[in-house]
Structure 1
């Protein structure tokens, strides 16, 4: 059975795109057939994986408006994943979808024609709670929330969780909220742990392990058109490999997801 995971947070700069790309590469290395979907009109995921959004013949925009099938639009990446790319046209698709009945189900219907070719689909939702993010959440089996370990990280989390609850009530009752994924984590400071403890206490949200460390390697990987897993051994890649193994064990064997306790159990 194909697993569909959305990565969502309406706050920008929380490593959504990095998480989708790195997690996808790690799962691909574990012999999984992975499709990653760029739902952000800024197309950062597409660009970071070596494809110029301005030179695409077609994109996820064409899929959402019904002009193309998923299989006709996807492109390959150097890490072995398949990418459903985006470009700025996607901003126009959002406006068109607002006028359509059942607009929240558009991506789900499109993916239904292609998911049999993949073991895992990862969706990079845009930094908003608009119709594109609703499409991502409606198409997904589960969602994780990247959360940067910085002051005011919790701002907007409550609104996102309310949106997830509404999606569960209206368009996707089977959507599972797996938890928050700590990003930009600095183990040397108590500040990072304080932020995670605050979010866990405030919202009762599981904090997934391992936390993703702050490292310059992520920026270097994006500039090279590949993921952080393609370079030398580093702590960021190791963290995403551990997360991928954790998720795969959860999906295939029903294992409990590892969680992170900021101040120990």
Structure 2
């Protein structure tokens, strides 16, 4: 059965797109057939996987509006991941979808024709809680929340969790919340652990392991159109590989997700 994972946080700068690209590459390394969906009009995921959004003739925008078949829009990446790309045209999809009945189900309907071709689908939701994010959550089986380990990181988390709850009640009762993924983590400071402890206590939200460390390799990889798993080894790449193993064990074997204990620091 294909697993569909939405990665969402309406706060920008939390390494959401980096998480989608790196996790996809790590899963592909475990012989998983992976499709990633770029739902952000900025097209950051599309660019980070080696495609220029300005040079694409069609994108997820045409798929959502019914002007193109998803199979005709999918593109290959150098790392073996299949991409449903985004362009700036997607910014207009919100207004178009708002006028349509069943607008929250547009992505789910489109994905249904290609799900059997993949083991895992990862959706990069935009940094907002609009119609595009609702499409991502409605199409997904589970949702992961990247969380920056800095002051005020929890701002907006409560609103996102309320949105997830509403989606569970109205459009996708099968949606499960996996938990928060610590990103930009600095193990040398107690501040990062304090932030995670606060979020865990405030929202009773599981914190997945391992935390993703802060490293310049993420920015370097994105600028080169590859994931952090390409090229020389880094702590970030190692963390995403461990996260992939954690999730695969959960999806395939029903094992409990490994979580991070801020108090214990592990």
Please indicate, yes or no, whether the TM-score normalized by the shorter chain is above 0.5. Answer: yes
1:119-167 per-position Cα deviation (integer Å, ceiling 9, x unaligned): 0000000000000000000000000000000000000000000000000
How is 1:8-19 mapped onto 2 (pairs within 5 angstroms)? 8-19=8-19
Give the C-alpha shift of residue 72 in structure 1.
Answer: 0.4
How is 1:100-115 mapped onto 2 (pairs within 5 angstroms)? 100-115=100-115
Structure 2 match to 1:167 = 167
Give the C-alpha shift of residue 263 in structure 1.
Answer: 1.3
Between the aligned partners of 2:238 and 2:78, the Cα distance in structure 1 is: 19
Tell me how large the CA RMSD over aligned residues is: 0.7
Structure 1: gaps spanning 5 or more residues? none
Structure 2 match to 1:246 = 246
Give the C-alpha shift of residue 78 in structure 1.
Answer: 1.2
Between the aligned partners of 1:12 and 1:75, the Cα distance in structure 2 is: 26
How is 1:72-87 mapped onto 2 (pairs within 5 angstroms)? 72-87=72-87
The secondary structure found in structure 2 opposite 1:63 is helix
The secondary structure found in structure 1 opposite 2:121 is strand
Between the aligned partners of 2:79 and 2:200, the Cα distance in structure 1 is: 34
Structure 1 match to 2:54 = 54
Between the aligned partners of 2:180 and 2:101, the Cα distance in structure 1 is: 32
**TM-score of the superposition, structure 2-length normalised?**
0.99
The secondary structure found in structure 1 opposite 2:138 is helix
Structure 2: gaps spanning 5 or more residues? none
Structure 2 match to 1:262 = 262
Structure 2 match to 1:143 = 143
Structure 1 match to 2:215 = 215
